[in-house]
A and B are shown apart, each in its own frame.
Chain A
């Protein structure tokens, strides 16, 4: 079983134009920055991306956006990106906004074999338009469909050569669900270790979900909003 690849360029070698790619991260936290940079280098286009946010201008997914590589995006909050707002108004990108909880569950369902589910979120809002709604025990719910992808770009803190992954703090976010919901999950990790080095009880994503893994070449781990307090 050989899952380890040499680097980010190797990892994405076979991604074709028009692919659907899930990309982990919340804001800039926990983003697979090496895979994103490699995709920007490769220039793969007409992509459908599935990610909570779209980076910021000039970093993270903002790179793919400014290079015109994204045709369609599904996410829950895109406010940090002026370019995206502009592209939406100019109709050079198709944007689907989903409530963050629904977005999370759609991805989880996609990896878990659940084709659709009901959630109270968004009932009687525009989110429920054109969707089936149903009463359960006197409360109204909206039916939502699972999300799947051709590829998932996942960032973890540590991974072993079987693809077992451990995340760190709030860099976890969407990575675990995305790892399960794509045909090919590619994991980039800060620390790639030998099988047996991760305590089994501490594995967050079992390696069954991960097809390719590599140690990220370089981590900027940019901070979006640096907020501090004065020492007392």
Chain B
């Protein structure tokens, strides 16, 4: 079923903004769901290599119908393809690569992020216990951790809080948060609002955020 186009627009804006953080030669891990869409917006002229925690460097596009290989899947268990330069390795080697700080950028979704950069994205007590998978390893060790998420819940509640209420995936690990409303940097003194989506004001963003936002001295409009 097609997502309503408003949702698609939101996601497009978020992943496009995050794609601007990519640098030539980056090794990047993209989490399940919205983060995988960052791969569709790699800027022209630069090359990044995508890492899949289940043991692959150099993830190719989804295969053409009829060419699916059951031995070739990504971390979300979707069929993918390889490319020239691809390598395969075990899960221990994959997480040694992650934990050893070799991944330049990790993009993942979140249920909550707080003003210290702590993130909760794996469990809702009493409702959902699917397991944490590789998320805890990624947030603990990637060189940069970027959260891709919608600014509020479906019910309009803030997801950027003073303090996470759900069980944490990692404590004080997030570097930046990209939402359809804003681009926010986590700093030792708090959350700095760097960019605002076109058509919105600082107050619009602050109203949708539980923690206090500090306007950046170079605050500007998000390029979309």
Q: Could you tell me which A residues sit within 8 Å of B by CB distance?
A: 26-30, 52, 75-80, 85, 88, 97, 99-102, 104-105, 107-108, 119-127, 157, 167-177, 221-231
Contact = CB atoms under 8 A, between A and B. Distances in A.
B190 interface: no
22 contacts: A27-B73, A80-B77, A97-B129, A100-B95, A100-B137, A122-B140, A123-B171, A125-B136, A126-B167, A169-B72, A170-B74, A170-B88, A171-B70, A171-B71, A173-B55, A223-B70, A224-B77, A227-B62, A227-B79, A228-B63, A229-B61, A229-B62
B70 A29 contact: yes
Contacts of A85: 129-130
Interface of B: 52-56, 61-65, 67-74, 76-80, 82, 88-92, 94-96, 98-99, 118, 129-137, 140-141, 167-172
A121 B72 contact: no
Contact of B55 (A28, A88, A170, A229): A170
Given A105-B92, A127-B136, A221-B71, 12 more contacts: A26-B54, A80-B77, A101-B95, A105-B95, A120-B99, A121-B136, A125-B169, A169-B56, A173-B91, A228-B62, A228-B67, A229-B61
B91 A177 contact: yes
B137 A226 contact: no
A169 B89 contact: no
Nearest to B138: A101
B28 to A, nearest CB: 17
Contacts of A108: 92
